[in-house]
Chain A
């Protein structure tokens, strides 16, 4: 699009963009600088001055070993992989049933999924807690896994939308060749859903990596800490050691930054699809 702004307008436009970028980046840069300062230097230097040396990694070592972040990354990875596999299988199966079949009760099922999007998960945790407890899942990774798998309606919508673009003639041709529904789903539909699966894996993966409430509430045991809850616990033992907290924070943000740099395009389009369901 051609810009129709005068010179003053152009200056103002770029000025506003630079200010916004600075506001977005500055808090992160400052905490990044703190992470490289040894205790002594941190105590004496101003927050806005860069560290004397960018080679001091002591804070990262302390955060990683004494802060239990290794455990956190392991637990997050396990939960991430299992929940993502589960979400993809469950979501594609539900979308397949809803898109390719007409059956009694279909309207009811669709309505159940639709209405559920209106229930904010955070409001029902008090009662969900009792269910997790009675299933014997409290203080197990299973608690986070079933909750991540069971509540992702957006994923089902993304699969459903995408499936509508896969021609039904493919199903019919396979059916004439004697394939049953399960093998049509597994051999024809599922492989064609790859782009939608990539979208769901990326968007949901970031959401699981960032989730704080569910692991905090359902997995308080120390060695079940995920990345969010282990970082949350930094506030106690390292309360006065901001340079170590800063290093832990940087360690948590780095994987997100890497994911963003490599997957930008997918993230933008995935969010747009998820929101306009």
Chain B
């Protein structure tokens, strides 16, 4: 990088119309533009990943200058200790939530792609929760689920007098939290699907109507193939998203009552129990899982453009 910075004035001095200048410019100038972006990228993405892999084989506490190599002990602990492995079960609730979320988003995107009164109002209302600050959402739903809160009041209207402890009962808490997550993120999937449906050329529907196609036929043979790619991408993001859930449960419960997720556990291992080695091993494991899932998607869902015409 030193060579590039010193070469720049020389390049600027050469006559503007000369071929030499542009040749020189082609070589050195791109790196001047890339210096800062690449430095930030390496410092805050690649160096952390490399360090994390290294820490994961040590017993580092995050403060001590000494780190002792411990081999695979941290990994053995994650897989051997049920307390650490159990959190993966929690992500199943969010995975189920993500499936519900995608189906709902697909339904509302399809419905609103047909002529509908107040279409923009409905679109805005369904989408808006996605834009709200995560802490605000956490507090809104703490209020919603608390004993005697909004949900209990609503249930009392239909005659339910002994509602569940939505956030107090370990067998219900993850359902409540996953539902909150669906409330928060459904709007994004919905808007992405709607955008993809609306980019399908209208002639296709007109032609289908001439052939006597029903709404179901249009959905099955025009809409679904047209949005296959974005639905596939969203499904993959939903899977890796449900493994790395953090904000909603951390803000609402701090991971209490069996609601700790893998990332909450990682953060606690590092910053509460000062076990950076173990936390790094958990980080590496999550990273590997996410990369494998993405690889599977790239491998089995080819990145071809869907040709509808």
Contacts and interface: CB of A to CB of B under 8 A. Distances in A.
Interface of A: 1-5, 9, 13-14, 16-17, 20-21, 23-28, 30-31, 34, 46-48, 90-91, 93-94, 96-98, 101-103, 106, 109, 112-113, 116, 118-120, 122-131, 146-147, 149-151, 153, 156, 175-176, 178, 180-181, 185, 206, 209-210, 212-213, 217, 227-229, 231-232, 234-235, 242, 245-246, 248-249, 252-253, 256-257, 259-260, 264, 267-269, 271-272, 275-276
Contacts of A257: 128
A119 B287 CA distance: 7
B230 interface: yes
Contacts of B10: none
A103 B149 CA distance: 62
26 contacts: A5-B114, A5-B215, A20-B122, A25-B125, A26-B150, A27-B144, A27-B150, A47-B153, A90-B37, A93-B37, A109-B38, A120-B240, A120-B244, A120-B287, A123-B283, A124-B283, A126-B55, A130-B48, A150-B41, A175-B22, A212-B133, A252-B135, A256-B131, A257-B128, A268-B191, A275-B230
Given A17-B111, A94-B33, A124 B131 contact: no
Is chain B's interface secondary structure helix, strand, loop, or mixed overall?
helix
A268 B124 CA distance: 10
B44 A4 contact: no
A21 B287 contact: no
B191 A272 contact: yes
A106 B291 CA distance: 23
Contact of A1 (B113, B122, B233): B113
Interface in B170-189: 183, 187-188
Contacts, number: 262
B36 to A, nearest CB: 6
A113 B46 CA distance: 10
A271 B191 contact: yes
B132 interface: yes
A277 B55 CA distance: 33
A94 B124 CA distance: 34
B139 A17 contact: no
A140 B257 CA distance: 34
Interface in B9-63: 12, 16-17, 22, 25-27, 29-31, 33-34, 36-38, 40-49, 51-52, 55, 62
Contacts of B107: 16
A127 to B, nearest CB: 4
A101 B287 CA distance: 33
Contacts of A185: 33
Contact of B46 (A2, A112, A259): A112
A267 B120 CA distance: 14
